[in-house]
Structure 1
Amino acid sequence: MAYAEVNGVRIWYETHGSGRPLVLLHGGYGATEDFAPIRPALATRRRLIALDLQGHGRTADVDRPLRYESLAEDVAALLGQLDLTGVDLLGYSLGGGVALRTAIQHPGLVRRLVLVSTPYRQRGWYPQVLAAMVAQDERAGDRMRGTPAHELYQRIAPRPQDWPRLWARSADLLRRDYDWSAEVAALDTPTLLVYADADAIPVTHVAEFYGLLGGGRRDAGRDGTDRPVSRLAVLPGLTHADILTSPALPGVVLPFLTHPLGVPG
């Protein structure tokens, strides 16, 4: 467990397990602790590197807007300091957007990509979900005091008083329109998309995302030889809020990370 100075940000990161590196990127208002329920299962097969993004967890905010692109540059810079290439990358929600941008901006850095409950464009969320997210401000942060996320932030953040600021800064990020469809379609990184069957992202968007990656276009054939390199998993009985705690998640992630490319199954 340590800090690293990258791009003017003092980023907290921690490692668990051994083997090929798997980088974990948490969701909005979260921290590395978000992965605690599934970390033991993942660490049986991977060296986990989990980090707190700018303004989250043990990483203090800096005088720089929250942007997917700059957060991705932080991830790439940290991996450069650790002398790591060809890593596997797993991001959830906000962290999924950062993971996707990392693969887009640094294609040679990421070996395989796992995106959990992540859209490829701003309007990939259900309209009511997006409306609630972009309406967040410091008062919304105040209303969330006493929640588990706030209690964790109070316990570990360098400046606990920045909790309302994090909400306002996050809303500024979420209000910015984006559509990465062209970059996703050009992505060569084998990617696993994972969603809950009652996610905050409609299944129509999930299907479009998978289609951009080459999935859902044809029957794979009896022996699976026409199966696309990228994969899709929809986990039943889960929501955007609890998918990261489900033992079903490592159950689909680990086979994708370990299965040889180009081999059916």
Structure 2
Amino acid sequence: MLHAEVNGMVLNYARYGEGSPIILLHGGLGAIGMFEPIIPILARDHEVIAVDLQGHGGTADIPRPLSFEAMADDVAALVVQLDLGKVDLVGYSIGGGVAMRMTIQHPDLVHRLVAVSAPFSRAGWHKENLEGMARTTHDVADYLKEMPLYTLYAAHAPRVQDWPVLLDKIAELNARDYDWSAEIRAIKAPTLLIYGDWDAVRMAHAVDFFALLGGGLHDALWDGSAMNANRLAVLPGATHYTIFADPRMAETALAFIDGR
């Protein structure tokens, strides 16, 4: 693993493969390791830079709330520090929100955006998922130690005792209302949205997201000339808890990034 000092923290990251860079961002309570099944696919013809976000994996927490905006600035600072130029972003769940914010806040650094199982507003989650997020605090820290996400966290965290702190910070992040629809409409980078057909993000929200990007608003015509550069993919039989390791997701993202 590699480390970079950005915005008052030591960011943990890893590099795989060679070629034009793809930044890979994990979901809440996750880490780089959750992408192990798909990194070899993404790294076939690209350099993949996978990042542990604030307080996750091998990146120690700092006295700052978790926010999509701040974490987007962290990733942008890493891209600049590594002199990567324009990058392709692949972000899952909370990492997808961070990727969206980086595209909005640092458009000069983004070539293409791939957002996986991520909403553009808090209202995009199913009601039961919002209720579950609200319950995921330090109160259930011991219970969650039986889950694979804690095993991943404990294997890399500089301070394993910060697990309850991370849970509270994630709960606060998930409780914060947001709606980026106006800023999404202004995104210029070609964007691919990927969801499972049984996702934690509502399917109607996924369609609304695509529409904000100008997608699906009219017929593409016989030759496809009425399409813009944005795409929507729905993977059958995929859920929010399987899609991040699904080879179909990686292959779909690669086809888009490579313009195929």
Decide: shared fold, TM above 0.5.
Answer: yes
- The range that moved more, 86-95 or 220-229, is 220-229
- The range that moved more, 142-151 or 45-54, is 142-151
- Once the two structures are aligned, what percentage of the paired residues are identical? 50
State the superposition RMSD in angstroms. 0.9
Q: State the TM-score, normalizing by the size of structure 1.
A: 0.96
Residue 212 (structure 2) aligns with: 212
Within-5 A mapping of 1:90-239: 90-239=90-239
Residue 149 of structure 1 deviates from its aligned partner by 1.0
> How many residues are treated as equivalent by the alignment?
260
CA distance in 2, matches of 1:22, 1:134: 32
Residue 141 of structure 1 deviates from its aligned partner by 2.2
Gapped regions of structure 1 (runs ≥ 5): 260-264
Q: What code does the residue aligned with 1:201 have?
A: V
Q: What code does the residue aligned with 1:114 have?
A: V
Q: What code does the residue aligned with 1:5 have?
A: E
Residue 43 of structure 1 deviates from its aligned partner by 0.6
Q: What code does the residue aligned with 1:10 have?
A: V
Segments of 4+ moved more than 3 angstroms = none
CA distance in 2, matches of 1:28, 1:141: 15
CA deviations 1:96-127 (Å, max 9, x no partner) are 00000000000111000000000000111001
Residue 262 (structure 1) aligns with: none
- The range that moved more, 183-192 or 127-136, is 127-136
Q: State the TM-score, normalizing by the size of structure 2.
A: 0.98
Residue 26 of structure 1 deviates from its aligned partner by 0.2
Q: What code does the residue aligned with 1:66 have?
A: L
CA distance in 1, matches of 2:141, 2:37: 25
Within-5 A mapping of 1:31-50: 31-50=31-50
CA distance in 2, matches of 1:209, 1:216: 10
CA distance in 1, matches of 2:142, 2:74: 28
CA deviations 1:60-80 (Å, max 9, x no partner) are 000000000000000001111
Q: What code does the residue aligned with 2:78 have?
A: L
Q: What code does the residue aligned with 1:220 have?
A: A
Residue 27 (structure 1) aligns with: 27
Residue 53 (structure 2) aligns with: 53
